[in-house]
Amino acid sequence: MYEVDHFINGSFVPASCGTRLSRENPATGAPLRAIARGGAADVAKAADAAQRAFESWGCTPASERSRILLAIASGLDARLDELALLESEDTGKPLSLARSLDIPRAAANFRFFATAILHEASASFLTERPARALNYVLRKPLGTVGCISPWNLPLYLFTWKIAPALAAGNCVIAKPSELTPTTAAVLCDIARNAGLPAGVLNVVHGLGAEAGQAIVDCPSVRAVSFTGGTATGRRIAGRCGERLIPASLELGGKNAAIVCEDADLALAVPEIARSAFLNQGEICLCSSRILVHRTRMKEFTERFIAAARALTVGDPLAAESDLGCLISKAHREKVLAAIERGVSDGGVVATGGGIPRHLPARVAGGAFLEPTVLLGVPQSSACVQEETFGPVVTVHGFDRHRDAVTMANGTRYGLAASIWTRDLARAHRIAARLDVGTAWINCWMLRDLRVPFGGVRDSGIGREGGNEALRFFSDVSNVCVSLGEAL
C-alpha cells in the first residue's frame, strides 16, 4: 500500500484532519493507496505557501522558469517506468499505453510550455492623437491559481494545466482525482529535485466536494482550470462566477465520426476503432457515435465489428492487452446501464455488451468490459445523447451530408468530431458546420500542443493549449508612455 500525502510548501505532509481515503486497484481489487483526505484547512496552508512563494516566483525571469521546467520534463523521462506502472495501477489502463502515451505526454507538456515562454511577444500601438504615445501590453502572472484534473489521463491532464500555469509565473494549488492521485505525488518529488522553489507547486489530495471545492472557494485563488464531468464543471463555473474569477472548463463529449461514401475504409476502420476504444473509451475525445453513409453501412459495420472483436481485453500489465479495465466497478455499472438503455430503446448489441470471460486469474474480479458496438439505437436515446465514457459506440446511417451534420450536432456536447472522406473540399464544408472545438479529417487525436483545445456548449468554455493556456493564466495590462512633442 502506497501512502499519498499532500505536497505543501515543498514538503510531503498528511492531511490536517488525520484521515485517509483508500483506493483499490480496479483490475485486481487489492488495496492500493491510502490518500490524504484534504479539506479547507489544507488548502489554506497551501494558499499561504503559494502567496509567499509568488513574491519571488512571480518575478523570476522566464529563462530561469524555463530551465526548471525543462529539468522537470527530464525528471519525468528518467522515471518513465515507475510512473507508467503507478498510472496503470491507479487507472486500470494498459501499462503499454501509460508508457507510450500518458507519461511521455506529461514530459512534453512541460517541455512545450518551458520553451513557449521564451518566445513570447506582446503587442504595442503607436498613438498619434490626441498626443503621441506608445501603448504596450504587459503580461503578468495572476498569483495563485487552482488546477483540478480527472482520472482518465491523470498525469497527462494534470501537467497540461500545471505546466502553463507555472510557466506563466503563477503559483499553483492543484488537486488530481482522488481515484488516481499517485503520479501527481511523484511529480512533486521530481519538481522539488528539479529546483522548483517551495510553495510554487502545492498539491492537496482528497474528494472533489471537500478539497476541490475548497480550492475553488479559496480567496487567494485567482483562476480555476478544470477538466472533468459537465455537472461538476457547471458547479465550478457557478462558484467562479460568483467570485468573479475566470474558469477554464474542459468537460464531457459525445463525439461523432462521420464516414462519407468515398471514405478509405482501410484507414477509417482501424482509426475509428482506436478512437472508440483507446484507454477503454475513457477519453473525452473518444468517438462514441459513428455516422456512416448508407451506401457503405454494411461494409463498414462488418469490418468495424471485426476490428472490435480483434481487440484483447486483459491484464493491464500484459503486453498483449489492447484494453485494460475501467476506472471502477461503479463506473462500469454506469456504462452497462447506458448499454441497457440503448437496447431498451430499440438498439441491438452487435458485439460486446458484457463482462469478458476468460480473464487471467489475477484480474478476474476487475472492472473489465468488452468493446461494445450497438446498432439501431434511436437518436433520442440517452445512450446516444449522454456521455458514456466507456468502450461503447453506436452506429447510425445517413443519406445526405447535411443529415450527418444535424446528427453530429444533435447532442448537448460539442467537443470533437472526425470526418472520413477522400474529398477534402467536402470534408472542409462539413467541418465548418460542426459545432465542435476540434474537427479531425482522416485522422483522430493527432495533437499539436500549439492549437487551441476545448469544447463548445456542454463540453466547456475556454481554450487550453499553446498561447491560449498562457493567456488564461496571465493578466494583461496596458502601459501608456507619453512620447511628448514631435521633433
Catalytic option among 89, 178, 250, 370: 250
Cβ closer to ligand TXE: 223 or 307? 223
Q: How far is the CB of 386 from ligand TXE (least distance, A)?
A: 8
Residue 93: partners with Cβ closer than 8 Å, 6 or more residues away: 87, 102, 279, 280, 282, 316, 324
Q: How far is the CB of 251 from ligand TXE (least distance, A)?
A: 5
Question: Could you say which of 229, 246, 270, 356 contacts ligand TXE (CB under 6 A)?
Answer: 229
User: Kindly report the CA angle at 61 between 57 and 67, in degrees rounded to 5?
Assistant: 90
**Whether residue 250 lies in the annotated active site:** yes
SS3 124: strand
Residue number with CB closer to ligand TXE (116 or 325): 325
Residues 6+ apart with CB under 8 A from 437: 414, 415, 416, 452, 453, 454, 455, 456, 459, 460, 463
Grid cell digits, residue 121: 511577444
Catalytic (active site) residue 284: yes
Distance CA 34, CA 20 (A): 6
Maximum C-alpha span of the chain: 87
Q: How far is CA 325 from the centre of its chain?
A: 19
Select from 21-29, 224-232, 287-295, 401-409 the region that touches ligand TXE (CB under 6 A): 224-232
Of 94-102, 133-141, 201-209, 306-314, the window that binds ligand TXE (rule: CB under 6 A) is 201-209
Region near ligand TXE per CB under 6 A, out of 61-69, 231-239, 263-271, 401-409 = 231-239
CA distance 325 to 125: 55
Find the binding residues for ligand TXE in span 265-284 (CB under 6 A).
284
Is 15 a binding residue for ligand TXE by CB under 6 A? The answer is: no
When asked if residue 236 is in the footprint of ligand TXE (CB under 6 A), the reply is: yes
The site that binds ligand TXE (CB under 6 A) totals a number of residues, namely 26
Of these, 178, 458, 464, 468, which contacts ligand TXE (CB under 6 A)?
178
Q: Which three cell numbers stand for residue 301?
A: 459495420
Q: Which is nearer to ligand TXE, 282 or 315 (CB)?
A: 282
Q: Smallest distance, Å, CB 91 to ligand TXE?
A: 11
Does 210 help bind ligand TXE (rule: CB under 6 A)?
A: no
In this structure, which long-range contacts are made by residues 124-127, counting pairs with CB atoms below 8 Å and at least 24 apart in sequence? Answer: 127/480
Q: How far is the CB of 274 from ligand TXE (least distance, A)?
A: 17
Piece of 163-171, 248-256, 262-270, 362-370 that binds ligand TXE (CB under 6 A)? 248-256
Q: Which of 137, 209, 330, 446 binds ligand TXE (CB under 6 A)?
A: 209
Among 71-79, 202-210, 290-298, 444-452, which window interacts with ligand TXE (CB under 6 A)? Answer: 202-210
For residue 139, CA distances in Å to 11, 226, 335, 387, 478 come to 31, 22, 45, 38, 9
Q: Which of residues 381-410 bind ligand TXE (CB under 6 A)?
A: 387, 389
Asked if 58 touches ligand TXE (CB under 6 A), the answer is no
Q: What does 149-195 look like in DSSP terms, one character per residue?
A: --SSSHHHHHHHHHHHHHHTT-EEEEE--TTS-HHHHHHHHHHHHTT
The set of cell numbers assigned to 282 is 475513457
Q: Is there binding between residue 208 and ligand TXE (CB under 6 A)? A: yes
For the chain, helix (H) and strand (E) counts, in that order, are 16, 21
Residue nearest ligand TXE by beta-carbon distance: 208
In the numeric block, the cell 482520472 is attached to 151
Between 250 and 322, CB nearer to ligand TXE? 250
d(CA 292, CA 261): 8
Residue with smaller CB distance to ligand TXE, 397 or 454: 454
How far apart CA 418 and CA 464 sit, in angstroms, is 20
Q: Beta-strand (E) ranges in 196-286?
A: 201-203, 221-227, 247-250, 255-259
Give the per-residue contact string, 132-161, with ligand TXE (x = CB under 6 A; - = no).
Answer: ----------------xxxxx---------
Residues that bind ligand TXE (CB under 6 A): 148-152, 175, 177-178, 207-209, 212-213, 216, 227-229, 232, 235-236, 250-252, 284, 387, 389
Return the active site residues.
250, 284
